[in-house]
Structure 1
Amino acid sequence: MMDGTFTDVGRSSARRHADLLVIGGTLATPNGVERADVACAAGRIVALGDLQHSWTADATLDAKGLHVLPGVIDSQVHFREPGLTHKETLEAGTRGAVLGGVTAVFEMPNTQPLTLRAEDLQAKLDAARGRAWCDHAFYIGGSSVNAEHLEYLESLPGCAGVKVFMGSSFGDLLADENEVLCRILAHGRRRMAVHAEDEARLRDRKVIAESSGDVRQHPVWRDASSALLATQRIVTLAGDTGRRLHILHVSTAEEIAFLSDRKDRVTVEVTPHHLTLEAPECYERLGTLAQMNPPVRERRHRDALWQAIREGVVDVIGSDHAPHTLEEKSRPYPASPSGMTGVQTLVPVMLNHVHRG
């Protein structure tokens, strides 16, 4: 049984009162799984151990028979405020996060207006103040219109970093040309997040989706080469500047093979959707509800992602939470928007995978 007290600066280890006391739960710690109580004050864990007889608290939760887990960080969510609040508000999105065991989120810049300027970032921070249920930071979009200002923008309080859309975006947020990408890479020091799909290939192949009207063609249109070409291109360009990268929602076996030898400067995110669903079954069963970018693919890709987790190639699992209304998702393909919810199901889905071994 552990019996230790962790203190913050200015907080005495003799303190015996907490805001919250969680009693009798089973904790997973670096020392193993064991029963312990948890004391929290000012939103921080301040003590672990056998505390129920030596601590008082404003509120007490009986966790006997339950596992107590730390909240997780969801590294990629697309909440819909401002501009698209008929889909979801910051309040609703962050409440869903907390209900699902997520206590911090990094939110993406493809709202309306786009998050490209300091004023856009501040507007999101202001909107979240007093309404967000969890910790949060917001990405700035890397673009041709703000490339020279990105080093300043990424240093602002509340900025999660710079996110670049090489494909699957619109207007000033799309950055698919090498000249623009090189300007973005040259301005900034923080690791840059990338949605890597090759826009030119997507445009050339869109006729596959338009002529078929069949959502089962989604991974045929946005094929593995579309993802691999973009990933290879941005990694090569970043090598010229020394910029570190974070490739979001990696979905193909080919990307994993390419990135596994470049872990010194590239980190990898995968999503529960790509780890759980497979084509064509998910499209036959769920239709456009399974439509996302990059697409859910065949089993060989899913198997490669799991192998990458086992081998330590994958650094983080993010939900890529991107809600739409059921009416919008029910439009005929390809007019149906891509994106699924996920912030509330990230932890439960992954715990199911853990349970199944």
Structure 2
Amino acid sequence: MNTDTAQRLARRHADLLVRRGMAITPNGVECIDIACRSGMIVALGDLERIWSAETVLNASGLHILPGVIDSQVHFREPGLTHKEDLEAGTRGAVLGGVTAVFEMPNTQPLTLSALDLKAKLEAAQGRAWCDHAFYIGGSAVNAEMLGELELLPGCAGVKVFMGSSFGDLLADDEEVLRNILRHGRRRLAVHAEDEARLRERKPLVEESGDVVQHPVWRDELSALLATQRIVRLAAETGRRLHVLHVSTADEMAFLAGHKQRVTVEVTPHHLTLQAPECYERLGSLAQMNPPVRDRHHQDGLWQAIRNGIVDVIGSDHAPHTLEEKTRSYPQSPSGMTGVQTLLPVMLDHVRAGRLTLQRLVDLTSAGPARIFGLESKGRIALGFDADLSLVDLEAHRVIANDWIASRSGWTPYDGLAVYGWPIHTIIRGNIVLRDEALVGTPIGQPLRFLEPPLAQPA
């Protein structure tokens, strides 16, 4: 038997071999091959002579990121599917290089029970393009059950709305919040705005009818008061927190002293859009809760990223139709698309030197996996799920409404030129986006979570 024949017989076989990309691994940036088999990464390195594969993907000239995890999306199903649904939302995710999402509970009906969660998981089966988990809403009506509900398969954890919600999902009473915090061990995600202050200040915008006043109504103090309150209650009850879409420099300064218990999310729109210009240009298309604020606060968010205060970037993808958004302010709803544009917008910030590619990976892949306890996600490493987001850092594109998969069909970044673009998306070793085009059918599965640690007292 000659040498070439012996080498061929000795070769190992993979389902997919990703060749010669610049991979962001725990060791840094490495030009390597990645072998994927049965949904997992099984080999890394110079694999051409050792491995063969049914499918070979040439990644030369591309950077390979661990699959991007968007830990805050609102896909509106059930009940509000005229503006978004699970199929369109997850399709937009993979088009944007996102391999997994956490979906929020403010649907109709609200996600408050095991049956509500089961219905969402069933609705996603065979329709979701990416892997997924669903939050249970924390409420007065289910507080005592949250310790059991948060451990159900496919549950991302518990989400609490301290403001900017309605009905059973609004939890602004201190005893209700304390009761929610006492029941459960997983990290609790919080929308922190002070509901009493928002109600008190709403006449300001009802009189003016001017969307430029949105950050005046929902001012920085409304955010800071709520954040301080929930952090205090979490310390009393020994609960870990994840404060969503932090929008103010004031909150960042406060949260810097509480990192032993609290993790922090920021969004691309708070890092990219700026008041008052965005409201003057986009009107209510720039309207979000909490609001896009002025340069002082945006600079504070970027400083918090540099200082390591921020743990996660999530999109807060929350679509409404253009017809709904054209209602007179403040009757116009708050929310915008974001899951599909998260990676292109943040890659453009990398190009501009505002953060490194490795820091972006920590904020969008390793960070979410670490703080939420995701099993086998968030790293390019042996034994991890073969979730990969392959991007061209030199690709110059213009984001446009006609690229957006969301049922709402628009983006506040319409017309924005960016450098950096998702080219291929791979989920558990399956190519779902190849050369910027969808491949196959939806293969998304529920995410798996590790057993949470015991709660620690203050």
Residue equivalent to 1:194 = 190
Residue equivalent to 2:43 = 47
Give TM-score, length-normalised by structure 1: 0.94
Q: Name the SS of the counterpart of 1:278 in structure 2.
A: coil
Residue equivalent to 2:290 = 294
Residue equivalent to 1:175 = 171
1:327 to 2:302 alignment: no
Residue equivalent to 2:148 = 152
Q: Name the SS of the counterpart of 2:136 in structure 1.
A: strand
CA shift digits 1:125-152 (9 cap, x unpaired): 1111121111111100000110111101
Residue equivalent to 1:279 = 275
Equivalent pairs counted in the alignment come to 344
Percent identical pairs in the alignment equals: 79
CA distance in 2: counterparts of 1:146 and 1:215, whole angstroms: 36
- Tell me how far 1:236 sits from its aligned partner: 1.2
Q: Name the SS of the counterpart of 2:257 in structure 1.
A: coil
Q: Name the SS of the counterpart of 1:264 in structure 2.
A: coil
Which segments of structure 1 move beyond 3 Å, counting only runs of 4 or more? none
CA distance in 2: counterparts of 1:284 and 1:59, whole angstroms: 50
Amino acid at match of 1:268: V
5 Å-filtered alignment, 1:34-73, equals 34-73=30-69
Match of 1:343 among 339, 346, 350: 339
Residue equivalent to 2:358 = none
CA distance in 1: counterparts of 2:274 and 2:122, whole angstroms: 40
Residue equivalent to 1:109 = 105
Residue equivalent to 2:246 = 250
CA distance in 2: counterparts of 1:185 and 1:111, whole angstroms: 22
CA distance in 2: counterparts of 1:237 and 1:54, whole angstroms: 56
CA distance in 2: counterparts of 1:69 and 1:183, whole angstroms: 40
Comparing 120-129 and 322-331, the one that deviates more: 322-331
CA shift in 2, pair 1:15/1:240, >3 Å: farther
Q: Name the SS of the counterpart of 1:20 in structure 2.
A: strand
Residue equivalent to 2:260 = 264
Q: Name the SS of the counterpart of 1:114 in structure 2.
A: coil
Residue equivalent to 2:221 = 225
Structure scoring higher RCO (CA < 8 A, sep ≥ 6) equals: 2
CA shift digits 1:298-342 (9 cap, x unpaired): 101000111011111111111111111111112221111101111
Residue equivalent to 2:19 = 23
Q: Name the SS of the counterpart of 2:231 in structure 1.
A: helix
Listed as ranges, the gaps of 5+ residues in structure 1 are: 1-13
CA shift digits 1:70-116 (9 cap, x unpaired): 21111111111111111111111111111111111111100111000
CA shift digits 1:176-202 (9 cap, x unpaired): 011111111111111111000011111
RMSD: 1.2
CA distance in 2: counterparts of 1:53 and 1:94, whole angstroms: 37
Residue equivalent to 1:313 = 309
Give TM-score, length-normalised by structure 2: 0.73
- Tell me how far 1:15 sits from its aligned partner: 7.1
CA distance in 2: counterparts of 1:123 and 1:242, whole angstroms: 32
Q: Name the SS of the counterpart of 1:69 in structure 2.
A: strand
